[in-house]
Amino acid sequence: MLYLKSAKKPSDHRPPQWPQLFDQLAISAKNPGLKQYYQAGVVAPETPLSDVSLVALDIETTGLDPARDAIVSVGLIPFDLHRIYCSKARYWVLNPEKPLTTSSVVIHGITHAEALVGHDLKQILPELLLALAHRVVVVHCRQIERRFLDIALKERIGEGIVFPAIDTMEIDNRYVRRRFFQRIVQFFGRTPESIRLAACRSRYHLPHYTPHHALIDALATAELFQAQVAWHFTPQTWVDKVWH
Amino acid sequence: MEVELLEISDHLRRFEPFEALPVEVVQELAAQVEVAYYKAGSTILSFGDEIHEVYFVRSGSVEVFRRNGTLYNRLEEGSLFGQMSLLMHNRVRFPARALEDSLLYIIPEAQFNQLCDDHDAFADYVELGDRARLRQAVSRANQSNELMRTRIQQLINREPVSIAATASVFEAGQRMTEEGVSSLLICAADDPGQVVGIITDRDLRTRFIAAGLPLKTAVAGIMSENLISIEAQQYVFEAMLAMLRYRIHHLPVMRDRRPVGVISLSDLIRYESQNSLLVVARILRAQDVEELSGLKPEIEASFVRMVNEEANSQMVGSAMSVFGRSVKQRLLELATERLGAPPIPCCFVALGSMARDELLPGGDQDNALILDDSYDPTVHGDYFKQLATFICDGLAATGYPYCKGGIMATTERWRQPRKVWSRYFAQWIAKPTPEDLLNSSIFFDLEGIWGEVGWVEQLKEQIAGQAKKSPYFLFALARNALSRTPPLGFFKDFLLERDGKHKNSLDLKRRGTAPLAALIRVHALAAGSTAQNSFDRLDDIRDANVLPLGRTEALRDALEFMSMVRLRHQAQSLTLGVDADNNINPETLSQFDRRNLKDAFQALSNAQKFLKFRYPARRSAKQG
């Protein structure tokens, strides 16, 4: 049990003052894209959910360890409480093995279509950060997206990233009481996120989607959050009730 | 940049009208939709709101309402709504609410309009209302059978051959031989354009030669009068019905009351692979009950064949009723051979679906016997009891099950003199109770089969005259007709159906055609119609302007479509060798049938609402 306690991060209990933190990071960040991202700012904690621009984000990885495993694909879809906007959805397939540099593309004359498959995160980073700017990220199990992106960025541009995130899995845990032994099983058994996502969705009578596709999982997460707000919150609920 | 959202496009492509679109088009569309979740009970659209999108139900179910708050439709997975409001100046016409937790895919107006512009089938689907879609389905089905789309005038290949009524039979025979025809129209002596009768080869044989009449006999003496004729612009199936109904093989064709030709059975035979009239002939030739009951498979095969050849429900219902009537008539002939001729005049009556010309396989034998007023139970009682027993047993042996409610000539109450029958009807009409009517409404569909059939015509006149002047009777009959409602929203309702005996099936007769026939009966009696067939009654209802404009057409299509599905289901059961029932598993229906069936149920539901509104409350009905 001691281990269980120490595993919890104190930061989870006291979320940072996100607007102030973004202001500081906007000054300290070196990478221009990242600087821009922080400069775009973030909504105040008292903002009602109905006024918050959201973006559902999902990344697929080769494993669960950010130090060893790599990102395979990234999907995101902007939304708000009213609608999910498929026309603004983005999806990238990344090459987890050989990071392609701009020069190697020129040298090897790799075609555009092939390059699409072989992107490195560094190449898509400006677009990714632009898509996330001024939106609150919604994920299912926030540790994965946060840690993978943070470490991947550190590896490529020498500085990490932090961002507020709404976690649909955490919300689900708040409202669905599980039996004690189920929690234990879950702790040791590590049910894959996407299966847990499907289970959460079924509680709100959302349809079954094929899992393990970053964009579809992002869409599924966006729908799940809309449903959770309809059931557990109101459009007037402050965003700081749900973000971390 | 557009990204592929296969999860959305694959789902859209499972449903009309997206299934007919090219894959790439649906994929492009999927990349443009918006998605929204609505918790059960939450409002999706409010009346009068501005609207610039069309909604697709991805999961859950949605209720759409009329302006006055009554339920208009219940939609499930794969349904579209909002398109009518788009067409109505972008204002919400039918408010919508989530009945269950629902996920909606929302198609922006620009994409929707583009699809309508680029794809005719898509535009047809969304621009036609439910009613028009059903119309299209029914007329498309009717187009598929040559009998239903060929007009009689196309069959006429020569001028009619005629002779004056004053000519002799000898001259008539010569004329027929010269012209090489098997029938001859007989015209008024002073007006060659006015047909007064017809003679056929058969008439010459039976009424002239066999009767040993002199050669100079006037042709008027052996001709058939009360000529049955048909209009040139009518369809071949209507000619077929007339021949079946009246058991004639030659039919004069008229245009503007002038004869333009004659069609014979042989002209029609090529339109039906095995003519139903041949089955009738076989029934009428049967020598005993055993031979008659042996014809049951043939009658069923004839039914299956007609359905497979896509004859319409009126055609099939009429043919089956003619078979049933012929069986009854043959049984009556066999009975009188055995029991002797009836001691007093009488009339054997068909009731219910056979009287309406809407009999289907497995339909009950509902019948009655009307006796002359000189009836004396002590003298004639035994005879008619034996006669009734012989007929009803024979019918049961031939595949017309006994009526469970005992509405048969074997029941003494339904084997009565004319004056008693007249009193029955007067009582039902003057002092109706819903309980009474529940059992007696079947008597308001009646047809004389054998004997003094004119008595039944008089009863029909009596009913038509009294019923339309008796608002309380019409009110009671209307309440009765509303006791069974169609399943609105169909699949959802279906799962919620209270009597879950057939949980995975739908009784199409009980929830569809029977309530519709009952509703049509109310309006027909209110309009003073003496017609019995539901389609004929609808004609009278339309002519009497009882219903709002266009409603009778909607009911006609609804009845035809529900009947078609029922017929196909029964034909399929018979082909598989199982008993034909009316329980349909909606999951076995095609998407096309399901959608049209829903539209048909919707039309019935609308008509029931109107009936309720037309005959509102007991108190006002009495005053009226």
Residue B70 binned pLDDT confidence (cut-offs 50, 70, 90): confident
Q: Do A223 and B3 touch (CB under 8 A)?
A: no
Nearest to A83 among B59, B60, B106 (CB): B106
Cβ within 8 Å of residue B109, ≥6 positions away: B52, B53, B54, B86, B90
* CA–CA–CA angle B208, B211, B215 (5° rounding): 45
Nearest to B35 among A86, A91, A210 (CB): A86
**B133 vs B190, more confident:** B190
CB B289 within 8 A of CB B397: yes
Separation CA B291–CA B327 (nearest Å): 11
Of the candidates A36, A39, A50, A155, the one whose C-alpha atom is nearest the C-alpha of residue A94 is A155
Residue A63 binned pLDDT confidence (cut-offs 50, 70, 90): confident
Looking at residue A86, the DSSP 8-state letter turns out to be: G
Q: Given a cut of 50, is residue B75 above it in pLDDT? A: yes
Of the candidates B243, B254, B249, the one whose C-alpha atom is nearest the C-alpha of residue B199 is B249
Separation CA B314–CA B534 (nearest Å): 9
Min Cα separation B470/chain A (Å): 53
**B268 vs A79, more confident:** A79
List, for residues B231-243, the tens digit of each pLDDT value: 887 888 788 878 8
Q: Which residue has the tokens 């120490």?
A: A6
List, for residues A161-203, the tens digit of each pLDDT value: 999 999 998 898 887 765 555 555 555 555 545 557 888 898 8
Please give the structure tokens belonging to residue B441.
């409404």
Compute how many other C-beta atoms are within 10 angstroms of the C-beta atom of residue A133.
17
Nearest to B32 among A87, A210, A223 (CB): A87
Nearest to A209 among B1, B7, B106 (CB): B7
The listed range with the strongest mean pLDDT (B147-156, B343-352, B604-613) is: B343-352
* List of domains in chain B: 6-127 (2.60.120.10), 151-269 (3.10.580.10), 276-623 (no CATH)
For residue B206, the one-letter residue type is T
Separation CA B470–CA A131 (nearest Å): 74
CB B319 within 8 A of CB B283: no
Q: Locate the chain A residue with the closest alpha carbon to B33.
A: A86
Cβ within 8 Å of residue A151, ≥6 positions away: A66, A67, A160
- Backbone region of residue B533 per phi and psi (left: phi > 0; alpha: psi in -120 to 50; beta: other values): beta
> What's the whole-number mean pLDDT along residues A36-60?
95
Q: Given a cut of 80, is residue B624 above it in pLDDT? A: no
- Backbone region of residue A79 per phi and psi (left: phi > 0; alpha: psi in -120 to 50; beta: other values): beta
Question: What interface predicted TM-score (ipTM) does this complex get?
Answer: 0.81
For residue A198, the one-letter residue type is A
CB B44 within 8 A of CB B57: no
Min Cα separation A241/chain B (Å): 21
Residue A72: per-residue pLDDT: 85
To probe the interface with A, which of B35, B62, B99 has the most A CB atoms within 10 Å? Answer: B35
Min Cα separation A92/chain B (Å): 10
Q: Do B59 and A207 touch (CB under 8 A)?
A: yes
- Half-sphere exposure of B462 toward its Cβ, with a 13 Å CA cutoff? 20
Residue B510: per-residue pLDDT: 87
Burial bucket for residue B462 (CB in 10 Å: 0-12, 13-18, 19+): middle
Separation CA B259–CA B192 (nearest Å): 10
Residue B39 near chain A (CB below 8 Å): yes
List chain A domain ranges. Answer: 15-241
Min Cα separation B317/chain A (Å): 44
Min Cα separation B34/chain A (Å): 5
Residue B137 binned pLDDT confidence (cut-offs 50, 70, 90): low
Residue A84: per-residue pLDDT: 96
Q: Locate the chain B residue with the closest alpha carbon to A205.
A: B101
Q: Which residue has the tokens 């709100």?
A: A204
pLDDT averaged over every residue in chain B: 85
List, for residues B521-531, the tens digit of each pLDDT value: 999 999 999 99
Domain A15-241 has CATH 3.40.630.10: no
Cβ within 8 Å of residue B10, ≥6 positions away: none
